[in-house]
Amino acid sequence: MEVDPRSKREIEELSKNLADLNIQKQEISVKLNKTKEKNKEIQSELKKSFWSDFLVGGLIVSGIFLIIDSIQLDWLVKLIIGIIILCLGLCPIILNSGLPKLKAINFNRNLKKLEVKAFINKGYIEFYNGDYDSALEHLDKALELNRKSSNALNGKGAILSNKGEYAQALPFFDKAIKSNPNNSSAWMNKGITNTMLNKYDIALKSFDNAIRIDPDYKDAWKRRAEPLKNLGRFDEALQSYDKVIELDNKDTDAWFDKGNTLIKLGKVKEGRRHLKKVIEINPNDKEAYSIIGGSLVLERRAKEALNYIDKALDIDENYAHALSNKAAAVLELEGPEEALGYIEKVLEIDPSNKETWNNKGFALQTLGKLESAMESYNHALAIDPNFVLAIHNKACIEALRNNKEEAIRHLKNVIEIDRNFFEKMKDDPYLDNIRETNEFKELI
């Protein structure tokens, strides 16, 4: 079981497996009961015949001992022969009474294993259905029967991780791995959870271990890209997405994530090509439409952008990301007054949308309402202090106010976060008031 909720198909498979396990449990229970009954019959017969058999056997053994004693052998040899004969005499009794017990023990062990599997399956089904408390109850029952069950430990960790209890989840993944070092799912979940805790080095090692065990583990390759990106190893992250696509060229997540990453790296055309592949596979992917549209808006191709943005809104008319991009496109094509209507609608749906607060600031800035614009940019930066576009726009307002020191300070902040962004935006006409200053020239 992985941290991510699985598909309906996988839930159906687990339900089928659970039904099969119940059938196996019933079959073994029947065999176990028959063995117990047989054992009772044998024990009853043994009690009836034990003393007579023992008396006859004793006489036979005594006779043999007398014969042996008449033979001129060393006393130690006589003793060994006597012990062997005695054991041969007792073997039928031991076999008759012991074998059924051994069979019963074996059946009990098999039944216990099936019960553990059944509880794990029930736990997984409840987990995928979103009932975490019920899932934990079933997995705890599995662990009562087998405290070292790697799958049960992994499942419990996955549930805790999904509940946001990341630190509490990690020991369960470690125990699962200790119990079964080849549990690739436990390594995978350890990687996901450490990614959530921003422990990217540990996460990367965990994903690599999952892939070492299962080189075709598609989700591990996909998840591996996240810590790589956070560690600044973008080429390796893109290679991970390529591996996913090699394993499954219809995996829209891989095409999407690679495309989005390429756009963020400034490789916009290549990124859009990957996002168009997403749409080709899934024509109802609103995110792909919206991101393509947003990238075209940034290139001042608003009319073309609206073709994609409107398709996203046809799929979901309240999709905040697309509405925000539409506001930006309308701002370019029709002006700030018209754009503000879309902006306010987005903020009603998603008040934590930093791009929309930035768009609102820019619309107000275009209308000459610099104080209100600055407030909007500050809202965006309260959500993400490293949002370079909002910082850049604050620099523009300070430049418009002829507050050169503050403008340069904001631009230095932009450069610290993303030098490439500064290079792309350094010719912004809103910076004209400070363009000829020595401080600005030093930045260039």
Torsion of CA 281, 287, 291, 293, to 10 degrees: 80
Whether residue 33 is predicted with pLDDT greater than 80 in this model: the reply is: no
Length of the chain: 444
The answer to whether residues 106 and 6 touch, using CB atoms and an 8 Å cutoff, is no
Question: Mind listing the pLDDT tens digit for each residue in 42-67?
Answer: 455 545 554 555 544 554 555 455 45
pLDDT of residue 42: 46
pLDDT of residue 261: 95
Beta-carbon contacts of 368 under 8 Å, excluding residues fewer than 6 positions away, are: none
Retrieve residue 184's tokens: 């690739």
Q: Using pLDDT thresholds of 50, 70 and 90, give the confidence band for residue 419.
A: confident
Average confidence (pLDDT) over 416-424: 88
Whether residue 393 is predicted with pLDDT greater than 90 in this model: the reply is: yes
Range with the lowest mean pLDDT among 83-97, 194-208, 260-274? 83-97
pLDDT of residue 104: 46
pLDDT of residue 426: 87
Average confidence (pLDDT) over 377-406: 94
Average confidence (pLDDT) over 203-213: 97
C-alpha 197/C-alpha 343 separation (Å) is: 33
Average confidence (pLDDT) over 197-223: 96
Q: Which residue has the higher pLDDT, 129 or 428?
A: 428
Question: Mind listing the pLDDT tens digit for each residue in 120-160?
Answer: 877 777 887 788 888 889 888 888 888 999 989 999 999 89
pLDDT of residue 124: 78
C-alpha 160/C-alpha 413 separation (Å) is: 39
The one-letter amino acid at 376:
S
Around 9, how many Cα atoms within 13 Å sit in the side-chain half-sphere? 0
DSSP per-residue codes, 137-189:
HHHHHHHHH-TT-HHHHHHHHHHHHHTT-HHHHHHHHHHHHHH-TT-HHHHHH
Range with the lowest mean pLDDT among 12-16, 61-65, 178-182? 12-16
Helices H / strands E in the chain, number of each:
21, 0
pLDDT of residue 294: 93
Whether residue 37 is predicted with pLDDT greater than 50 in this model: the reply is: yes
Q: Using pLDDT thresholds of 50, 70 and 90, give the confidence band for residue 78.
A: low
Retrieve residue 35's tokens: 């063995």
C-alpha 258/C-alpha 222 separation (Å) is: 10
- With tokens 């998603």, the residue in question is 350
C-alpha 173/C-alpha 156 separation (Å) is: 9
Share of the chain above pLDDT 90, in %: 53
C-alpha 3/C-alpha 128 separation (Å) is: 10
Beta-carbon contacts of 397 under 8 Å, excluding residues fewer than 6 positions away, are: 365, 370, 373, 374, 377, 430
